[in-house]
């Protein structure tokens, strides 16, 4: 597909990287010529330097032949205007990043209709939702949801004290009885789609699929279940912090935000009156100790500096705070943070990249026998979880899964039928209108039939 990405900041660059890896023809737009030069050197893309709301620049970028136009500049208004012009000039689909809290849900519906936007994306809102999900289930390092939250995939790290260390998956299922499926395992730099004989080791990162109730039952049986954190301290008054604090106070949690900008503190105090706002430098350990960081149930570092988020999170972890989460956008720093003991890392740019890749793949296979409903990159990007909606012309309907000739490193991890989720056995079959969740390691699936060996 022909895709234009306007705005090549952190999020724009990540989107470009993902779309190029998917095999699309990408053109980048930015007002900074040095940025265009860097992007065209790094990736196999074309470049157009100029304002993305300028008709001549859009023409130069080939807007008339564009399938998808993505505007992710720093300005919401510029993104909306450029998408409006792009659509009028021939782009088939337009996607705008709209981040400001004042553009609430009802405003966004109106704006999408009036501007004929295909999608509006808010990285901070999506990151806040992911953080909120993790804080509800602190034993997890990552939570992805499928089929309107009826089904979940949880990533967890096995500690050296875990009773699962040294067990194979058959023994684990017999011992703990919970209806869960370990569908992916990351061990150092390798990712496995395990069979029943696979032996778990301390340090492994597991991908587990199940319903919410079964996950909770399983973690309680392992004696690692943590109750939802009710007292949360947030470092930094960013937009992500704003959205997260709103979700938490509405859910009945006690929230404290530490922010050094007085104007931001004033704004947060007015908009989230139920939260406690502390004006001060949260990078100072003395301030955090004075504010009772040792007694907090969870700590979330959301400043604009990855390095500060990592360092302060390591300090807070040393105080035995039950749950510590850091926002880290740079990939090299994410790996470093995990090596330093920070298991739970959230990256807004990766979340948005998943959303865009899912949307473009869904457009690409719109005429196939299955549609992509949800897509997540797992295990540091080495595996994918994809939810497909099955149509009546899927070639392998009513075939027991055990009789399907599946490709290597692929597993059918869940089936949702009439809103009822299940972990499939070898005797289960796929029916029309099912939602099927597939986990694949080191490969990209465009449609459900891609799980089958050819020939």
List, as own/partner pairs, every contact residues 266-270 make where C-beta atoms lie below 8 angstroms and the sequence separation is at least 24, other chains included. 267/237, 268/237, 268/241, 268/242
Whole-number pLDDT of residue 370: 67
Q: What is the mean pLDDT of residues 38-58?
A: 95
* Together in a domain, 9 and 62: yes
Q: Of 193, 221, 249, which residue is a domain's last? A: 221
* Together in a domain, 208 and 290: no
Is 367 a residue whose pLDDT tops 60?
A: no
Residue 355 in any domain: the answer is yes
* Together in a domain, 247 and 214: no
Least confident piece of the model among 59-73, 220-234, 364-378: 364-378
Q: Of 321, 341, 374, which residue is a domain's last? A: 321
Token pair listed for 132:
């909120």
pLDDT tens readout for residues 385-420: 999 999 888 989 999 999 999 999 999 999 999 888
* Together in a domain, 178 and 241: no
Half-sphere CA count of 13, side-chain side, radius 13 A: 14
Least confident piece of the model among 14-18, 255-259, 355-359: 355-359
Whole-number pLDDT of residue 236: 96
Question: Could you list the residue range(s) of the whole structural domain that residue 428 is in?
Answer: 350-451
* Together in a domain, 8 and 113: yes
Q: How many domains does the chain have?
A: 4
**What is this structure's pTM?**
0.87
Mean residue pLDDT of the chain comes to: 90
Residue 333 in any domain: the answer is no
Contact 52, 82 (CB under 8 A): yes
* Together in a domain, 117 and 25: yes
Whole-number pLDDT of residue 297: 94
* Together in a domain, 280 and 381: no
Backbone Cα Rg of the chain:
23
Whole-number pLDDT of residue 406: 92
Name beta bridge partners: 370. Answer: 390
Residue 397 in any domain: the answer is yes
């Amino acid at each position: 597909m022909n895709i234009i990405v306007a705005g090549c900041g952190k999020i724009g660059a990540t989107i470009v990287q993902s779309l190029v890896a998917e095999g699309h023809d990408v053109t980048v737009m930015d007002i900074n010529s040095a940025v265009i030069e860097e992007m065209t050197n790094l990736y196999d893309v074309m470049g157009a330097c100029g304002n993305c709301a300028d008709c001549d620049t859009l023409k130069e970028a080939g807007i008339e032949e564009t399938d998808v136009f993505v505007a992710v500049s720093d300005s919401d208004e510029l993104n909306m205007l450029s998408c409006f012009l792009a659509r009028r000039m021939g782009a088939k689909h337009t996607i705008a990043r709209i981040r400001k809290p004042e553009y609430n849900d009802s405003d966004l519906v109106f704006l999408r209709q009036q501007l004929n936007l295909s999608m509006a994306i808010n990285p901070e809102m999506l990151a806040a939702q992911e953080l909120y999900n993790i804080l509800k289930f602190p034993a997890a390092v990552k939570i992805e949801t499928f089929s309107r939250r009826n089904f979940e995939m949880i990533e967890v790290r096995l500690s050296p004290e875990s009773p699962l260390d040294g067990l194979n998956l058959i023994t684990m299922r017999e011992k703990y009885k919970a209806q869960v499926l370990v569908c992916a395992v990351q061990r150092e730099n390798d990712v496995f789609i395990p069979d029943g004989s696979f032996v778990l080791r301390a340090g492994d990162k597991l991908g587990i699929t199940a319903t919410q109730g079964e996950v909770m039952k399983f973690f309680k049986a392992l004696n690692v279940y943590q109750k939802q954190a009710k007292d949360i301290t947030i470092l930094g008054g960013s937009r992500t912090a704003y959205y997260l604090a709103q979700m938490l106070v509405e859910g009945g949690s006690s929230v404290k935000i530490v922010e050094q900008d007085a104007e931001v503190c004033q704004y947060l105090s007015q908009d989230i009156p139920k939260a406690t706002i502390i004006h001060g430098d949260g990078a100072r350990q003395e301030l955090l100790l004075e504010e009772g960081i040792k007694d907090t149930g969870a700590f979330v570092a959301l400043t604009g500096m990855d390095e500060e988020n990592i360092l302060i999170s390591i300090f807070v972890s040393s105080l035995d705070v039950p749950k510590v989460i850091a926002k880290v956008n740079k990939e090299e720093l994410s790996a470093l943070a995990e090596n330093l003991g920070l298991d739970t890392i959230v990256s807004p740019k990766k979340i948005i990249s998943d959303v865009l890749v899912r949307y473009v793949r869904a457009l690409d296979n719109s005429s196939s026998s299955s549609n992509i409903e949800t897509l997540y990159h797992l295990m540091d990007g080495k595996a994918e979880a994809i939810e497909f909606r099955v149509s009546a012309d899927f070639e392998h309907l009513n075939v027991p899964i055990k009789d399907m000739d599946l490709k290597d490193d692929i597993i059918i991890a869940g089936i949702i039928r009439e809103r009822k989720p299940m972990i499939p056995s070898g005797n289960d079959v796929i029916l029309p209108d099912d939602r099927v969740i597939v986990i694949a390691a080191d490969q990209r699936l465009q449609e459900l039939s891609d799980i089958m060996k050819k020939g």
